[in-house]
């Protein structure tokens, strides 16, 4: 890749910061860590951009909107030939989220995923998993439901401030 292509790839990564998750609008697709790669190729003198995406889970209903929004923002920046490729392996993990994204979640009122050394399993929550309340920072919380406002979140309640909140589950 030459220097011009490298600058263009960096520019596209920067543009993708404008694409928000429709379910959690404070997070960009970059914050979520679902953009795996950006490639630029030249075909018949035309520049083609490929954006490689891994959904947070294979059945994520927001992916159609995310793909459409990626295409639209790149068109707005004069990238006409855009291909969006979905890759399911390796599976997305909350480890791919940016630290900035995790802080944005907390400020938005959603508890960010715990570090992986904590028990994180999409099939079963450990009853002793400590989830910090994003409102008052207490760890005196309890799980109300395995599912919150979306399938990738669980519903918790703080026993101290009594506020309900979503917890972005670990994967």
**Residue 10: exposure state from Cβ atoms within 10 A (0-12, 13-18, ≥19):** exposed
Is 31 domain-assigned?
yes
Over residues 36-62, mean pLDDT: 91
Which CATH number fits the domain that encloses residue 59? Answer: 3.30.300.130
d(CA 133, CA 162): 10
Over residues 30-47, mean pLDDT: 92
Q: Which of 86, 117, 148 is the last residue of a domain?
A: 86
Same domain, 47 and 122: no
Is 91 domain-assigned?
no
Same domain, 132 and 157: yes
Same domain, 113 and 76: no
Q: pLDDT digits over 125-163, tens only?
A: 445 578 999 999 999 999 999 988 888 899 999 999 999
| Residue ranges of E strands in 28-118 | 35-43, 46-53, 81-86, 110-111
pTM of the model: 0.83
Same domain, 80 and 22: yes
Q: Which of 56, 86, 116 is the last residue of a domain?
A: 86
Range of the domain at 119: 97-168
pLDDT (0 to 100) of residue 60? 85
Percent of the chain with pLDDT over 70: 88
Residue 112 has pLDDT above 60, yes or no: yes
- Tokens 């947070």, residue? 56
CB 8 within 8 A of CB 50: no
For residue 96, what pLDDT band results from cuts at 50, 70 and 90?
very high
Question: What's the start-to-end Cα distance of the chain, in Å?
Answer: 33
Planar angle of CA 118, 123, 124, nearest 5 degrees? 55
The strand pairing partners of 157, in sequence order, are 142, 164
Q: Which of 86, 117, 141 is the last residue of a domain?
A: 86
CB 31 within 8 A of CB 98: yes
Q: How many domains does the chain have?
A: 2
């Amino acid at each position: 890749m030459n220097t011009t292509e490298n600058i263009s790839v960096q520019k596209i990564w920067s543009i993708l910061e404008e694409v928000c998750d429709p379910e959690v609008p404070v997070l960009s697709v970059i914050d979520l860590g679902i953009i795996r790669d950006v490639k630029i190729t030249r075909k018949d003198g035309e520049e083609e951009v490929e954006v490689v995406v891994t959904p947070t889970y294979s059945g994520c209903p927001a992916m159609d909107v995310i793909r459409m929004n990626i295409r639209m923002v790149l068109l707005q920046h004069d990238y006409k030939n855009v291909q969006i490729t979905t890759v399911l392996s390796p599976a997305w993990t909350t480890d791919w989220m940016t630290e900035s994204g995790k802080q944005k979640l907390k400020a938005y009122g959603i508890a960010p995923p715990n570090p992986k050394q904590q028990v994180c399993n999409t099939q079963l929550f450990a009853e002793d998993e400590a989830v910090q309340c994003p409102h008052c920072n207490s760890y005196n919380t309890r799980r109300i439901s395995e599912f919150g406002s979306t399938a990738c979140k669980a519903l918790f309640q703080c026993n101290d401030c009594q506020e309900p909140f979503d917890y972005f589950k670990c994967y």
